[in-house]
A and B are shown apart, each in its own frame.
Chain A
Amino acid sequence: GNSVTQMEGPVTLSEEAFLTINCTYTATGYPSLFWYVQYPGEGLQLLLKATKADDKGSNKGFEATYRKETTSFHLEKGSVQVSDSAVYFCALSGSGGGADGLTFGKGTHLIIQP
């Protein structure tokens, strides 16, 4: 079955540091890949997505590239802010058709210190 593995936190960085959160996946076919963010006490918000190999998703300074050869979708940001503190989830949706739900990684808690 499908699975997503992401680095477990918490990850603590200083403001303006470079961020990488690793994500790798196992899936059949050609899944779509997503990063979601969950701020404290809130629901999940879609941060970015990529639907095919070599696509780059980007939003709010965050980027991730769909690498089929390494089955990865690492999240990066050049300069983090305190307001980026949240839990980040890597996820994929199946490509086999049917109303599949998303398969999530376990989430990475990011803490940005001023």
Chain B
Amino acid sequence: DTAVSQTPKYLVTQMGNDKSIKCEQNLGHDTMYWYKQDSKKFLKIMFSYNNKELIINETVPNRFSPKSPDKAHLNLHINSLELGDSAVYFCASSRGQGGEQYFGPGTRLTVT
């Protein structure tokens, strides 16, 4: 059983489009995250979310928005895609705050 899953694994789209990436965890965790990994493998937190608060990294453009229909899901919606959005996006989850996080397999987004 996959603990943290993401769909799609690959996403190729054109500039200006709107797209979503889905994330689901079956670990019973209460906190979920989105990270962006650039071409140099550098990982940076974009959002963290639990049922009480959403924390947004201030450097993330407001074209990016997380949507959580329930505790097991945290989807990432991106409006007006730009070339610089091309990266690998990882979803993660943890029990509580500050503990170890479990990562999904990643979604490679390519904007042309």
Q: Summarize A's interface: helix, strand, loop or mixed.
A: strand
Q: Residues of A contacting B99 with CB < 8 Å?
A: 32, 93
**Stretch from A17-25, A68-76, A77-85, A102-110 forming part of the interface with B:** A102-110
Chain B residue contacts of A46, Cβ below 8 A? 100-102
Contacts of A23-44 to chain B: CB distance below 8 A: 31-32, 34, 36, 38, 42-44
A66 within 8 A of B: no
Name the B residues within 8 Å of A32 (CB-CB). Answer: 98-100
Query: What is the CA–CA distance of A56 and B38 in the complex, to the nearest angstrom?
Result: 31
* A residues whose Cβ falls under 8 Å from a Cβ of B: 31-32, 34, 36, 38, 42-46, 49, 87, 89, 93-95, 97-104, 106-107, 109
Write the residues of chain B forming the contact surface with A, with a CB cutoff of 8 angstroms.
Answer: 4, 31, 33, 35, 40-50, 53, 55, 57, 90, 92, 97-106
